[in-house]
A and B are shown apart, each in its own frame.
Chain A
Amino acid sequence: MSSRIGVDIGGTFTDLIFFNEDDGSVLVDKVPTTPAAPEIGCVDAINSAVAPDLLRSSSYFLHGTTVGLNALLERKGSVVGFLTTSGFRDVLEIRKGSREEWYNVFWVPDAPLVPRRRRIEVRERMLSSGEALEPLIAEDVIDAVKALREQGVTAIAVSFLNAYMNPAHEIEAEKLIREAGFDGAVSLSHRVSGEYRDYERSSTTVIDAYVRGRLSNYMEHIESRLRAGGFDGTCLITRSGSGSMTFTEAAERPFETIMSGPVAGVEGAAELARTLGLGDIISADVGGTSFDTALIRDGRPQLLYEGSVLGMPLQTPWVDVRSIGAGGGSIAYVDVGGLLQVGPQSAGAEPGPACYGRGGAHATVTDAAFYLGMLASGNLASGIRLDRGKSEAALKPLADRLGYDLTQTAEGIITIAVAAMANAIREITVEQGFDPREMKLLPFGGAGPMLATELARELDMREIIIPPCAGNFSALGLLTSDLLQSAALTRPMPLNDESLSQANDILEGLFKDLKSRGSAGVNGTDTQLEVALDLRYTGQEHSINVQPDADDGMITAAADDVQNRFEATYREAYGGILDTLIEIVSVRASVRRPLSGSMDFTGTESIATSGSTDSVRAYSFIHREYSEFPVMERSQLSGDKQRKGPAIIIEPTTTTYVDADCRYTVDAGGCLRINLEET
């Protein structure tokens, strides 16, 4: 028995999904998020939706949360003290010196998470060779701990220069901190990341210390209440770098969850791509305020090894999801120069688009879409009835400024919003050397299916796949996460057979480290050890991630094979290769354990809506005129033949717009497939 419960906490709604492995049925629920204490809302949602006997027999609870991110956003984390190498007190404040808003002479950065009075230097120095230039002076650490305790510090982050080469001083410092009687959280930079770049690693270490208390309490609350309800399975949380980790491990490595917000949807998309053999796909998650897109190649999302959150670098793997401020709530306006602009400001959920009738006065993407008939009669799942008069009133001032009629204005808003989304997709495809025309578009989220046809057309893509439960797809994606752990170590060395053997020694250590992390109690079936190398041409800084042939976590490939693979990847990205020596920069290890049991959500039946299926007059973007669009219930289309557009397809949490030049069908897997005609 491997029934799974997934809860994804968003800014506005908490989505719950329960997958019953016995009969393959899926149960979906949506409740308002309780921002002050999301852990309470989370457990309440489970208790109200999942019967006690089902909770007791469930194997996994999978959770997506932005609680760590919110702690950073609201600056409500632990009181952190920072110990660093003498001479490097201000690395966090000097940053990289650049301006986030490079064309703004007034821009100033946010204050660092740790103010200067709690950043303390200790005498010690490692060299990049790993040799100690100066020993750690114990009394400096002892004095620092005393000073920090006087300042009410509850967590200490330690980041010494070149600790990635030799962590001895950090380990010694931790011992001294404990001996001095400090019993709060201690984060050591080399445990957080084995990679070089002192500012990035220090920033990550401080974030780790800053959010750990909040996230631990949060997870403890949820787990204890689930246990009290009889849940006997494993609690897992999504990682920024895809996959999930146990609550136990997350309490030790909370920074790995910070950027996991948009990842669950991408995971679901990747799972779907693997299950259905879809080839390369682009996910397009359109919510109220943001558009999140990711490229999935060979069934896996692209990983990056360093990101930044709220202007602070985070040195941890993360799924390459590009987000822009464009969604259903994005506000349209005419700028001083007379051009129409859409977003990034959003009307959010309150007051929401003008047509929600909750006091919103600005025209949004949703207003434009509703005006054009793309949302049919406008009865939304949450009980909102859209108000056409309010949409018109909001569009009117823009139309007057532009010298347009309302239809042209609404079409313009959709077109500009879609163009911004298409540009975000170009960033992860065309700009990286990949051609979106050979890929499929996978839209989801409340507004994704509404804009999918236009988005595909803008990118010259032919195939759209709208997954089951498209409006709640992120929560569904949660349930598909493998258990994943990863670690890396920077060791620049020339690529040859000898260095590959050194890489294997490093891998052995990394896997040993991963085994020691808190993932006990997971009934992982076949454990997969994954190995990767960051390689680059000597002299270049940017590296390319290559997976060499390996067996049981050890590289078996010869240097020549690795070089060939590197060159093939390099050629694909840059169109050519160079006649320069290649070097290994970092060695990466991960342990992947698919959760036991099967989680096949294809074939999930759509749920009927209570909306009207009378046809509506809607705007066709291809014909640039209004015509009658039949309104179809998605649940009625299962296993259906291919139909010709136009159509508006409704389901409880989203609406799909199908233009006149499209054909559509629901396949055996429950996916709504739309094909655009060749132009």
Chain B
Amino acid sequence: MDMETKTYTYVAGKNLDVDGSAADPVTTQLVRNSLNSIANQMRNTLTRASFSPIVYEANDFCVALYDHNICLLSQAPTLPVFLGTMNFCIEAAVEGVGGVEALEPGDILLYNMPYGTGSHAQDAAVVMPVFMEDGELAGYACNKAHWYDIGAKNPYCTDTEDLFQEGVIFPGVKIYKRGEKNDDIFRMVEANTRTPDYVLGDLHAQSASARAGADALVKLIHRFGRDTFRMCVQRMFDHGEAMVRDFFAKLPDGIYTATSTMDNDGLTDETIDFEITVEIEGSTIRIDYSKVPDAVAGPMNCPFPSTVSGSRVAIGMMLGEGGSPAEGHFRPLEVVTRTGSMFHPVAPQPCYLYGWPLMHAMEAIYEAFSKAAADLVPSGSAGDICAVQAYGYHSETGEFFFNGYALPVGHGASADADGATLYVPALAKSTLPSAEIQEAKFPFVFRKWNLAPDSCGPGKYRGGLGVDYEWQVMHDARLISTVENTKTPAWAQQGGLSGTCNGFTIEYPDGRIEKRNKVTGLPVPDGTIIKIHCGGGGGYGLPSERDPEAVRRDLEEGYISEQHARQYYPHVFG
């Protein structure tokens, strides 16, 4: 594909043309607390009215509130990697309907073009402009939620070749116009999904959430007055920036590089390497993706908004600062990309699996930081959500069933603790659905839900254990697997070692056994057993320095076998 490539440096945050230092610090706190409360209100509205478990259980959505310059006012604890993309979603949605001039009070916009949302088409952004009574634009209330299905070639895809195989596109359309529901769009949505109840239900929930946020923002601005509100917001931005710069300024300046290896692009099974550079310069952090390969042929490309978002989340989680950033927090971060590359694909390059290069990138960013100082980050995680999903039409009821979830994996050890078993940072707030609920709803029987002994990366502190999940489909079904990192284990630092790689095995009723990584639409008969191995986390420090007592305890608990102990911790055996 011929195209002009260009390197972009993205820096967040326009300022309001007011002096934040003139704002009263107490009033600023009140404004900030109230903005966070509104975001929580938006989250609660969406969660409770939503239809799909992926929203209410997996927390695969986000809500946020922006000012009229599309600067982040507040966000609720929801899917971390969605949160950093919402400014791009608003920008693109507004542009789609004809720009700011085309917005009217009561409008609600729907937008899901991947290059603007940062996601795949299934992740639908809903944006409501917030107007004061006199018609002045005050900001935007918005959210993005993962829809069950919006008509891609399969309910989930690992092998798309362009945008048009990935789902129906809503390039910025008004689902409500001046408060009036636009039924045409709802009918379009309904006609283009395999799961209309879920998707329409979630779209209603998203609209209700945006409306709740918009109403609350207007009330809040009235309470403090427009001028005071703006000054406080500016001060809030400046405050966030100062907090983050204070943290970065303490880190050693330098340029740190890490390389990541993806299993494949989804179409062929060749590994793909890419390199990310982290530059610390005073209190500014520059994350440079410009040297990554051109966009791959398959869907393992991460659109620019998610490239920025992944960088924001990686940095934000290092700060450990309570999780309510506003625009100012992002200002010290610069993101450099190249158009047409894996981390800045352009239409119609495929990007269905955008989240996977993104998870890789976050690990690479942390690995690069680990070279700046020994205690900045823990070692790597198994770096994936190890999701395998099954779908089909129930032979008795004719109903479409579709089930499968993100899974927690082993996480890396740090300078003073063993690693844990958790969701990867990109999905930090996700929750694992109960086996009993899944069995009550879907034709599956779970056979195993256990930690995987010996999966942890050895070290002075060992990595977190991976997990073995096994389930059996009790109905003919088709499988989708996005399992990544089956070839490359978690990275480790200071002499620690890697844990096990992720793995996905299919055992057919006729005894055939297949090891796979990504598959789309693979038919399997009733009785097939799915085995997923979520890999272990990386260790920290030399295994020979591990406290013998800790090794003995791991043996006693069955976290490791005697063979593993003898191989990696011979000092314990004298």
A residues in contact (CB < 8 Å) with B = 87-91, 93-99, 101-109, 115-117, 127-128, 133, 161-162, 164, 196-200, 335-341, 402, 408, 411-412, 415-416, 419-420, 423, 426-427, 430-432, 492, 537, 539-542, 573-576, 578, 580
Contact = CB atoms under 8 A, between A and B. Distances in A.
Nearest to B148: A539
29 contacts: A87-B450, A94-B408, A98-B423, A102-B77, A103-B319, A103-B322, A108-B417, A108-B420, A116-B557, A116-B559, A117-B557, A127-B439, A128-B436, A161-B436, A161-B446, A162-B439, A196-B434, A196-B440, A197-B434, A339-B239, A415-B26, A430-B216, A431-B44, A537-B51, A539-B197, A540-B56, A541-B57, A574-B208, A580-B197
Interface of B: 25-26, 28-30, 32-34, 36-37, 40-41, 44-45, 47-53, 56-57, 77, 80, 197-198, 201, 204, 208, 216, 238-240, 242-243, 246, 316-323, 366, 377-378, 407-408, 411, 414, 417-423, 425, 428-432, 434-437, 439-440, 445-451, 464, 467, 470, 556-559
A672 B464 CA distance: 57
Given A87-B448, A416-B26, A540 B421 contact: no
A340 B33 contact: no
Contacts of A578: 201, 204
Contacts of B323: 101-103
Given A102-B428, A116-B559, A97 B29 contact: no
Nearest to A415: B26
Contacts of A108: 411, 417-420, 422, 464
Contact of B431 (A97, A336, A492): A97
Contact of A492 (B198, B417, B435, B440): B440
A198 B434 contact: yes
B272 to A, nearest CB: 25
Nearest to B240: A337
A580 to B, nearest CB: 6
B428 A99 contact: yes
A310 B417 CA distance: 20
Contacts of A99: 422-423, 428-429
A432 B25 CA distance: 30
Contacts of A128: 436, 439-440
Contacts of A90: 449-451, 467
Given A94-B432, A108-B420, A339-B25, A423 B33 contact: yes
Report, nearest first, the 5 A-B pairs whose CB atoms are least far apart: A97-B408, A103-B323, A412-B26, A337-B239, A104-B320
Interface centre among B238, B425, B436, B448 (most CB of A within 10 A): B436
A542 B48 contact: yes
Contacts of B447: 87
A576 to B, nearest CB: 7
B377 A105 contact: yes
Given A94-B432, A94-B449, A340 B29 contact: yes
A415 B30 CA distance: 8
Contacts of B450: 87-90
A367 B295 CA distance: 61
B557 A105 contact: no
Contact of A423 (B37, B318, B322, B431): B37
A98 B420 contact: no
A115 B467 CA distance: 17
Given A89-B450, A412-B26, A423-B37, 13 more contacts: A87-B448, A88-B446, A90-B451, A91-B449, A94-B408, A103-B322, A105-B425, A117-B556, A161-B446, A199-B432, A411-B26, A416-B26, A431-B45
B370 to A, nearest CB: 12
Contacts of B425: 105
Contacts of A127: 439, 445
A98 B319 CA distance: 18
Given A105-B377, A117-B556, A196 B436 contact: yes
B26 A105 contact: no
B41 A431 contact: yes
Nearest to A423: B37
Contacts of B56: 540-542
A69 to B, nearest CB: 24
A27 B41 CA distance: 43
Contacts of A540: 50-51, 56, 201
Given A99-B428, A117-B558, A338 B239 contact: yes
Contacts of A89: 450-451
Contacts of B321: 103
A87 B446 contact: yes
A339 B28 contact: yes
A402 B50 CA distance: 44
B53 A541 contact: yes
Given A412-B25, A423-B37, A580 B439 contact: no
Contact of A98 (B414, B429, B434, B446): B429
A491 B211 CA distance: 35
A427 B411 CA distance: 33
A537 B33 CA distance: 34
B47 A103 contact: no
Contacts of B319: 103
A94 B386 CA distance: 15
Contact of A337 (B36, B243, B318, B436): B243
B434 A573 contact: no
Contacts of A106: 320, 378, 414, 417
Contacts of A200: 434
Contacts of A411: 26
B421 A94 contact: yes
Contact of B198 (A88, A98, A539): A539
Contacts of A109: 420, 422
B421 A574 contact: no
A653 to B, nearest CB: 30
Contact of A574 (B37, B45, B216, B467): B45
Nearest to A121: B450
Contacts of A337: 238-240, 242-243, 246
Contacts of B25: 338-340, 402, 412
Contacts of A88: 435, 446, 448-450
B80 to A, nearest CB: 7
B208 A430 contact: no
Nearest to B409: A97
A280 B505 CA distance: 57
Contacts of B48: 542, 573-574
A408 B28 CA distance: 14
Contacts of A102: 77, 80, 323, 428-429
A573 B49 CA distance: 9
A443 B25 CA distance: 28
B436 A96 contact: no
A476 B24 CA distance: 42
Contacts of A432: 44
A578 to B, nearest CB: 7
Given A336-B242, A338-B239, A542-B56, A574 B49 contact: yes
B535 to A, nearest CB: 14
Given A102-B80, A432-B44, A97 B430 contact: yes
Contacts of A94: 408, 421, 432, 449, 451, 467
A108 B429 CA distance: 13
Nearest to B47: A542
B147 to A, nearest CB: 14
A87 B29 CA distance: 50
Nearest to B559: A116
B435 A161 contact: yes
Interface centre among B41, B414, B434 (most CB of A within 10 A): B434
A490 B423 CA distance: 29
Contacts of B470: 87
A127 B197 CA distance: 27
Contacts of B322: 103
B53 A93 contact: no
Contacts of A420: 33
B232 to A, nearest CB: 10
